[in-house]
Every structure is written in structure tokens, then in C-alpha cells.
Amino acid sequence: MDGRIVRIAELDIDPAQLAAYRRLLAEEIEASVDNEPGVLMLHAVSEKERPERIRILEVYANRDAYDAHLQTPHFLKYKAGTADMVKGLKLVDADPVMMRGKTLDQRHELG
Amino acid sequence: MDGRIVRIAELDIDPAQLAAYRRLLAEEIEASVDNEPGVLMLHAVSEKERPERIRILEVYANRDAYDAHLQTPHFLKYKAGTADMVKGLKLVDADPVMMRGKTLDQRHELG
């Protein structure tokens, strides 16, 4: 392996604040992937049957990239802004089996 | 929404057959994303602490694309070849919150 960090975050959100949470998360993901070279992928979905249950597939280039991510203004804003919305958070470390999307470039990055 | 299907598959694999399962899954993912226009993303990972637990984030263009996928030779080969390896399978329908990877093209497809 090449030091990449792959993880699934599982979050339970206060249903009363779900719309606000989704906005803050979407904003944070856009800022991270657009501005941080080492944030390779953030794919966040909500379960259809339990929309307050959020899962995020995260890929970072390496540990340094992840540590740097935690200190960025956009991440700190997300973390502070959502602190009282997040009722549960579980982080599941993972290894890729095969990750493919439609784009050649991404295939080379993550395949 | 535009009809895309987003789903998380959670599988429990017979530990004794895990290496063989991973090979069959990887092969199936490559064939699907490379050859089927409507299979937009298949990202499979295994949990570090429980490698026999596999999760796949799946994105299909629409219901027709998904139905066609189920009839392809590579999917049928995977399904038959892994039938006695898969001890549990749960399909969780999902809605995207924000899905971003490093590639502009993918951003346009899936953002």
C-alpha cells in the first residue's frame, strides 16, 4: 500500500437539525476536495429509510494530509458548527478492494 | 433528483474464501465500470478490523442501467462464483449529500 487512508464515517444526526447539517457537510466537502491536494475523495450519503444516518467514504493521500485537513479553517468551521447536531460518530478504518468511477483520471488515482 | 441509484451494499464473506472473493469482486467491478455506461461508480472496501466485512458504495445512472447490469455476463459470473462465499448481504438505499473526488469529470457526473 501507498499510505492512503480509507475510512467510512457513520454519523447519527439530530433529525431536527438535519437540513442544516447537510448544508454544512456539503460545504465542507466541497472546500476540502477543491482546496486540499491530499483529500482525494469525500462521498457522503444519507440512508433513505433513516435520513438522519449519514455515511461518508473518505480517502486521504496519507496521514500528513489527514492531519493537515483537521487544521483547515473549513474543517474547523464544520466541526464547531455541527458539534451539537452530531449525536453519534463511528469511524471505521478500511482497505480498498477495488474503487472505480467513470473517469480515467480517478481510476489512476484510486483504482 | 435525476433517477440515479445510490446504494451501500454490506456483505459478510466466509473468511476461508476471502482472498478468492476479493479477486472475483475486483474483476466484476472493473468489468462493470469499464463496459457499462450506466454503472457510474463501484467503490468496494473491507473493514480493517473485520476484513471479511465488505462494503460497496454503488452509483448507477438509473433503474434501467441497474437492471441491465444484473444481466451482464460479468455480473452473472460474479454472482454464481461467489454464491457460497457470501454469508450475509444487506442493501441500503441512499441519497447523496455530496460526492466529490479529485477529478473534474467525476465532479460533473456525480457532484
* Amino acid A5: pLDDT: 95
In B, minimum Cα distance to A103 occurs at B106
The answer to whether position A109 is within a domain reads: no
The answer to whether position A111 is within a domain reads: no
What whole-number distance in Å separates Cα of residue B69 and Cα of residue B38?
8
Model confidence, pTM = 0.90
What whole-number distance in Å separates Cα of residue B58 and Cα of residue B98?
14
| CATH number of the CATH domain containing A81 | 3.30.70.100
Q: What is the ipTM of this complex?
A: 0.89
Is B101–A101 a contact, with Cβ atoms under 8 angstroms apart?
Answer: yes
Task: Write out the H or E segment, with its range, that includes residue A40.
Answer: strand A39-47
Q: How far is CA A87 from the centre of its chain?
A: 17
Q: Which residues from A are below 8 Å from B6, CB to CB?
A: 45
Q: What is the pLDDT of residues A63-72, one digit of tens each?
A: 999 999 999 9
* Amino acid B102: pLDDT: 85
Q: Which residues from B are below 8 Å from A26, CB to CB?
A: 97-98
**C-alpha closest to that of A109 among A27, A26, A39:** A39
Is B96–A44 a contact, with Cβ atoms under 8 angstroms apart?
Answer: yes
Q: What is the pLDDT of residues A31-44, one digit of tens each?
A: 999 999 999 999 99
Over residues A30-59, mean pLDDT: 96
Task: Write out the H or E segment, with its range, that includes residue A47.
Answer: strand A39-47
Higher pLDDT, A102 or A89: A89
Q: What's the domain count of chain A?
A: 1
